[in-house]
Amino acid sequence: MVNCWGLLTSQEEPVPLKSVEVELEVRDHVATVVSTLNYENKEDKLLEAVFVFPLPGDAAVCHFSAKIGQTEIVAEVKEKQKAREEYDDALSSGREVFLLEESDQSPDIFSLSVGSLRPGESASIRLEYITELAVQADEGLRFCLPAVLNPRYQPRGSKDVCIQVTSVPASLVPYSLSFSARVSSPRPVSKVESNCPLDALQYLNTEQTQAMVKMAAGHKFDRDVELLIYYKDAHQPTAVVEAGQASAKPGTLMGDPVVMLSLYPEFPQAVMSSDASCAEFVFLLDRSGSMAGSRIKCARVFIIVPLTHLPMGCYFNIYSFGSSYEHIFPKSVEYNEKTMEEALKKVNTMGGDLEGTEILTPLEHIYSQPCISSQPRQLFVFTDGEVRNTKEVINLVKRNSGSHRCFSFGIGKAASSALINGLAKEGGGHAQFITGTDRMEPKVMQSLRFALQPTVVDISVKWDLPKGVSVTALSPPITALFDGQRSLVYAQLTGQSSEAVEGCVTVKYSLAGHPSQNQLHFSLKPAEDTGLTVHRLAARTLIRSLEKEEGERGGEQDGEVKKKVVELSVQSGVSSAFTAFIAVNKGDGKAIQGPLVLRNVPTPSEYIFPRTNLKARNPSRSTTVFMFKTVAYSQLSFHVFHCGSIGHQLTPREDLLQLVSLQKASGCWVLDPALAAALGKTSKEVKNTKPSAVSHLWATILALIWLHGFKMDAQEEWKLLAMKAVSWLRAQNASVTDVSEPQFLDAEITAVINDAK
């Protein structure tokens, strides 16, 4: 019989983790997260508890401490191997000890080991990390608190040195979660949304630049906690200068002021008005076992959106993968009516029947294909990121970054932020996350628009500072810019000036052969009450760059780069791949006696999984590739290639997708019952308004009228589609003159809109 009062694993073992408390503080677009994990040993045995959990891949852990009774122990950052040895020594001597470290395989997975927890004893562990918030397609800033550590697919033949982690249904997770968020910004906070129930947003000042929100009581830890934060006039460049640490030596990163720039480049409209129409697009559809059933049907929706918006004259191909991979065409083909219909027909028959999730092999094949002359290669990756070889996949993209751009999408609540962000960063593209009931179309369209923009080259950053002040760049060189998309730059300021208190930074670049630049003037006066957040984010950025350099060198030169990482990590108190946080309670010096029992803390999931292995601490041209792996959207009950009967009432999302799916590759629509149904009309109603001998022309005009009349709120989703339709109309000049006088079109358009209303 199960003992219901205790905290139990699926093996009916007591679990010492009782609750998790999370406090989020967001300042503009930077988040500080403080998590408090409360443990209690209700057994009569000495325990070691192991909790494996995800964090954002670009997060930097900057504080770790434990409180036992009235004794607080602040952890130190040490070289990882030394920290592990110290942890083992403390365990063997019966001392209370705590170890926090990131996985050797992926920077978004951390393990927390609580060693020698005495019978009846409680411990409170405080974990603090900082992270930048990603900007979404609708200009919201996204924060995600991961709740799930799903089983990660391990490629065949890979080595496995692991610990066991229990995954149980969220309803059976024995520990509770409380969550609160405080938001502040120079600009007013317009709203805060979440996929979880929240109490009402409370403004803390009359300017509405500060606000607070809490999670509603009774929330089950059954999903990621996702927050979307919206500011007024969000796309404004900003600069924050943070004073150095008083106790740190001047001239060091922590001792000098650090500046963080948020840049939003604006491209010349003369260049942007003619989007690039040539590219090679490759779609890679995930057909692993988890995609079977309704998921694979919903994944097809992802193909409609980009395929129907592609410009004539480009090239494309569609790959699908699992444990093996397939492709529809032997090589990329020219995009036209015939190839588009053939591709969609084959995609519509695909199922989730290719077992595993091996992304590396199809990517290797794609990169082995020669680039097509004058067709820039863009790589779009749609995946849930459930892989073990994250670093290997990212390194492959990086090695091929000179021949393509990579746009990545994390699908579902278990997507690895390390993988998704890493692919986009190393591939010079843009990352997106789609979870819960998110509408994927705006995000897909935003990335597609980015992919159709000319590649920005010759990017440089020039600083203009007062005499006596010098600058040291801490961020890697900017390799990708997109119109209106944020770029972050960190730099260390050394020296002082008694003259001007203002600096200027200029970003220069070449876009489609046109030299351009954007400037930002900023105050050198340090901002108030920023703590050391900017310094630690800058340290994190520099550490990640050095870690990549170390990986490329393969440990050469006696680990010179690794030594720099360890030194910087220890100096800044920021986690790295080569360090760990270690805290030992030396107390009164008396060792704890008795055998040590291991307890693994379960993580929540939708289903009961067997114990799953996770890595432990002791072991210039651009093809567009779309990888798909989605969550099920039950509201999409229609088939995108089969229109319902005339008069069928579609949801706002369904009717737009239905119309989109009917557009031909050339950009036109056909006047038939399917189009009439999409417009909410009968065939007779549509045909009665048609001028003679202009069927396709009239159908296309009606579709554009409907989009402008009823779907302006979703304009970003069909903007490219409409541009393609208008281009087709302009090419039909001869036919337009057959529609009587120009006033005829105006009268008919007005009549159709009025009738529709």
- Judge if 159 and 177 occupy the same domain: yes
Residue 70 resides in a domain:
yes
- Judge if 414 and 504 occupy the same domain: no
Q: Is 566 left (phi over 0), alpha (psi -120 to 50) or beta?
A: alpha
C-alpha atoms less than 13 angstroms from C-alpha of 407 in its C-beta half-sphere: 26
- Judge if 225 and 85 occupy the same domain: yes
CATH code of the domain in which 310 resides: 3.40.50.410
CATH code of the domain in which 213 resides: 2.60.40.1730
What stretch of H or E contains 77? strand 76-79
**Looking at residue 9, what is its pLDDT?**
38
CATH code of the domain in which 492 resides: 2.60.40
Query: Which residues contact residue 365 at a Cβ distance below 8 angstroms, ignoring those fewer than 6 apart?
Result: 319, 325
- Judge if 463 and 337 occupy the same domain: no
- Judge if 352 and 498 occupy the same domain: no
Query: Which of 19, 474, 509 has the alpha carbon at shortest distance from 260?
Result: 474
Which parts of 265-369 fold into alpha helices (H)?
269-272, 294-309, 337-347, 360-368
- Judge if 26 and 47 occupy the same domain: yes
Residue 698 resides in a domain:
yes
Q: Which residues of 211-235 are buried (b: 16+ CB within 10 A; e: fewer)?
A: bbbebeeebebbbbbbbbbbbeebe
Which domain range does residue 602 map to? 17-234+572-615
- Judge if 609 and 682 occupy the same domain: no
Q: What is the DSSP pairing of strand 624-628 with strand 280-286?
A: parallel
- Judge if 263 and 283 occupy the same domain: no
**Looking at residue 385, what is its pLDDT?**
63
Residue 86 resides in a domain:
yes
Strand partners of residue 109: 54
Residue 3 resides in a domain:
no
- Judge if 451 and 469 occupy the same domain: no
Distances in whole angstroms, Cα of residue 42 to Cα of each of 15, 45, 47, 130: 9, 9, 10, 33
Longest pairwise C-alpha distance within the chain: 100
**Looking at residue 614, what is its pLDDT?**
30
**Looking at residue 536, what is its pLDDT?**
93
- Judge if 89 and 223 occupy the same domain: yes
Query: Across the 757 residues of the chain, what is the mean pLDDT of every consecutive 10-residue run?
Result: 30 67 90 89 78 78 85 91 91 85 78 80 88 83 73 53 49 75 92 89 94 84 81 84 91 93 82 67 81 68 81 89 91 93 86 84 94 89 76 90 88 73 88 72 85 88 92 91 87 82 91 87 83 91 87 64 93 92 76 60 45 33 35 26 36 75 88 85 73 74 85 80 83 52 42 40
**Looking at residue 568, what is its pLDDT?**
95
Residue 637 resides in a domain:
no
Task: Tell me how many domains the chain contains.
Answer: 4
- Judge if 57 and 87 occupy the same domain: yes
Where would I find the beta strands (DSSP E) of 512-568?
Answer: 514-523
Residue 215 resides in a domain:
yes
Would you state the structure tokens that stand for residue 723, as one six-digit string? Answer: 């541009």
**Looking at residue 642, what is its pLDDT?**
31
Residue 333 resides in a domain:
yes
Residue 188 resides in a domain:
yes
Strand partners of residue 596: 46
**Looking at residue 550, what is its pLDDT?**
76
- Judge if 24 and 161 occupy the same domain: yes
